[in-house]
Amino acid sequence: MSFSDLGLLPELLRAVADKGYDSPTPIQAQAIPAVLAGRDVLAGAQTGTGKTAGFVLPILQRLVADAAQGSIRAPRALVLTPTRELAAQVAESARDYGKHLHLRVIQVFGGVNINPQISSLRSGCDILVATPGRLLDLAQQRTVDLSKVQVFVLDEADRMLDMGFIPDIRRVIKLLPAKRQNLLFSATYSDDIRTLAERLLHEPLSIQVAPRNAPIELVEQRAYRVQKEQKRHLLVHLIQEGQWHQVLIFTRTKHGANRLTQQLEGAGISAAAIHGNKSQAARVKALDMFKRGQVTALVATEVAARGLDIKELPQVVNYELPNVPEDYVHRIGRTGRAGAAGEAISLVSTDENGLLRDIERVLRRSIPTVQTPAFKIVEAPPATPGNRPAQVQGRPAHHAGNSHGNRGPDRRDSRRNSNAGHRYQGQQRSGRTH
Ligand code: AMP
């Protein structure tokens, strides 16, 4: 199957060829003809499956075929996304795939000044990509006209529900014309999603792409057993020993992301945090520096990482396992995307055994636990009289960090400090441990 079999316009085929895609992914092969035919679609597909092109390409084609009149155009396609990052990414994809057509794509989302968005909307657009809250603000101010929407897309609908957007989605739907095409994309199916789908969709084509088996197969997954308080030392060791240059690290909390970023910086590893408390400008800057290779480690929370389009990421680390097993799949989908192999590393403390089991149940396979290498603990323990002297455990010192002449401010500082504890820690465990 090739893209030209799908009935796409030459302009779109050229854009796809420019991107270097050889053939459509399964979701694209099924969704593109259905959307072109005007059908409603319910698609179970996650990030990394190529779902964005699956709805953007046929929408572009439908909009070109049905050319809008007049210079000030109200949006004819509306895409709702849960996060600003995803909104920006979808809009960028739409511009990219539509670069040989003359359609205008606008994105609007919260957390940034509304006024430039208002002026942008004044000049009209064909496709509007939005997060629900900001869209409603704009609608209330009557700066966006949704009465011409022909195609309505809910992207990552499960995530939107998790984030409490259901009342906002209902409000948005009320502003749309009754007659329209609806597309709903969701990684998972809960009862809430089913209810939403039943209300929203008219005789939809249901598409379920394999729960990301193919992408997961491309990811080399492994878990290290490590005590919670020693995770950061092991992480520093893995980054330095492996000479990783671009690693995305997931933490559970914003505070945890900030703290780990500081700790990595303290160990001489350039790092930036990306989470909901950061301004949009700070997030964009952090992501940009990471993509350019100016920052080695990007530490992110689950929600902030949604929709980040970082290609061919060599390493993803679960510094803490996610509470929701499906999030694990999302996270590791950041690596090994569209054919590139990657590694997904999980640092698992004993209190996370249950989470690991849940993840393995969802994956229907086990994640190999590999031997934890000897790593160095370079911080000074509190100076109490009862402190025991520095000790070395695990495997020998050449494994621990500074063999490449790594920048090691901690090492020098701690040598100066008579209380410094330099320990090597390594758990000699391999194979399945639970
Ligand atoms: P998505 O699931 O939409 O986030 O897309 C995941 C990644 O796959 C993006 O980086 C796309 O550029 C890429 N991609 C989408 N379609 C294809 C394709 N047919 N062949 C190769 N890569 C693709």
Q: What percent of the chain has pLDDT over 90?
A: 56
- Give pLDDT, residue 390: 38
- Give pLDDT, residue 434: 35
Please determine, for residue 172, whether its predicted confidence score (pLDDT) is greater than 50. yes
Weakest mean pLDDT among 197-206, 260-269, 382-391: 382-391
- Give pLDDT, residue 177: 97
Please determine, for residue 388, whether its predicted confidence score (pLDDT) is greater than 50. no
Going by pLDDT thresholds of 50, 70 and 90, the confidence category of residue 69 is low
Q: Mean pLDDT highest for which of 71-75, 87-91, 358-362, 420-424?
A: 87-91
Q: Could you tell me if 200 and 345 are in contact, meaning their C-beta atoms sit under 8 angstroms apart?
A: no
- Give pLDDT, residue 16: 94
For residue 47, how far is its CA from the centre of ligand 1 (angstroms)? 9
Q: Could you tell me if 422 and 378 are in contact, meaning their C-beta atoms sit under 8 angstroms apart?
A: yes
* Amino acid in position 42: L
CA distances from 216 to 111, 340, 341 (A): 33, 11, 10
- Give pLDDT, residue 136: 97
- Give pLDDT, residue 336: 61
Please determine, for residue 417, whether its predicted confidence score (pLDDT) is greater than 70. no
Q: Where do we find the tokens 């009557």?
A: 142
Residues with CB under 6 A from ligand 1: 21, 24-25, 28, 47-53, 309, 311, 337-338
Cβ neighbour number for residue 132 with a 10 Å cutoff: 24
In degrees rounded to 5, what are phi and psi of residue 287? -65, -40
β-sheet with 151-154: strand ranges across: 105-108, 127-130, 77-80, 151-154, 181-186, 41-44, 205-208
- Across the range 2-26, mean pLDDT stands at 92
Number of residues in the chain: 434
Q: Could you tell me if 126 and 68 are in contact, meaning their C-beta atoms sit under 8 angstroms apart?
A: yes
Cβ neighbour number for residue 206 with a 10 Å cutoff: 12
Ligand 1 atom index nearest CA of 311: 10
Please determine, for residue 240, whether its predicted confidence score (pLDDT) is greater than 90. yes
- Across the range 94-120, mean pLDDT stands at 95
Of residues 348 and 330, which shows the higher confidence score?
348
What secondary structure letter does DSSP report for 245? S
Please determine, for residue 314, whether its predicted confidence score (pLDDT) is greater than 70. yes
Residue 342, C-beta contacts closer than 8 angstroms, at least 6 positions apart: 218, 219, 220, 312, 313, 314, 315, 316, 332, 334, 335, 336
Q: How does the average pLDDT of the chain come out, rounded?
A: 83
Cα separation of 332 and 216, whole Å? 8
- Across the range 146-154, mean pLDDT stands at 97
Please determine, for residue 393, whether its predicted confidence score (pLDDT) is greater than 60. no
Q: Could you tell me if 371 and 403 are in contact, meaning their C-beta atoms sit under 8 angstroms apart?
A: no
- Give pLDDT, residue 85: 87
CA nearest neighbour of 305 among 325, 281, 324, 283 = 283
Cβ neighbour number for residue 393 with a 10 Å cutoff: 13
Residue 171, C-beta contacts closer than 8 angstroms, at least 6 positions apart: 132, 136
CA nearest neighbour of 312 among 345, 337, 344, 294 = 337
For residue 127, how far is its CA from the centre of ligand 1 (angstroms)? 20
Q: How far is CA 60 from the centre of its chain?
A: 24
**108 by DSSP, 3-state: which?**
strand
Q: How far is CA 133 from the centre of its chain?
A: 20
For residue 338, how far is its CA from the centre of ligand 1 (angstroms)? 6
Mutate which of 1, 12, 25 for ligand 1? The one with the most ligand atoms within 8 Å of its CB, which is: 25
For the stretch 325-334, what's the b/e string if a residue is b when 16 or more beta carbons lie within 10 angstroms of its beta carbon?
A: bbbbbbbbbb
Please determine, for residue 280, whether its predicted confidence score (pLDDT) is greater than 60. yes
- Give pLDDT, residue 192: 86
**143 by DSSP, 3-state: which?**
coil
For residue 110, how far is its CA from the centre of ligand 1 (angstroms)? 26
Burial-class residue 390 by CB neighbours within 10 Å (0-12, 13-18, 19+). Answer: middle
- Give pLDDT, residue 219: 84
* Kind and range of the H or E run holding 93: helix 84-97
Of residues 376 and 124, which shows the higher confidence score?
124
Weakest mean pLDDT among 116-120, 154-158, 298-302, 401-405: 401-405
Q: Could you tell me if 313 and 334 are in contact, meaning their C-beta atoms sit under 8 angstroms apart?
A: yes
Weakest mean pLDDT among 68-72, 164-168, 219-223, 238-242: 68-72
Please determine, for residue 218, whether its predicted confidence score (pLDDT) is greater than 70. yes
Cβ neighbour number for residue 163 with a 10 Å cutoff: 16
Ligand 1 atom index nearest CA of 307: 4
Please determine, for residue 382, whether its predicted confidence score (pLDDT) is greater than 60. no
**Nearest Cα residue to atom 12 of ligand 1:** 50
Q: Could you tell me if 375 and 406 are in contact, meaning their C-beta atoms sit under 8 angstroms apart?
A: no
- Give pLDDT, residue 309: 60
CA distances from 169 to 40, 166, 199 (A): 17, 5, 12
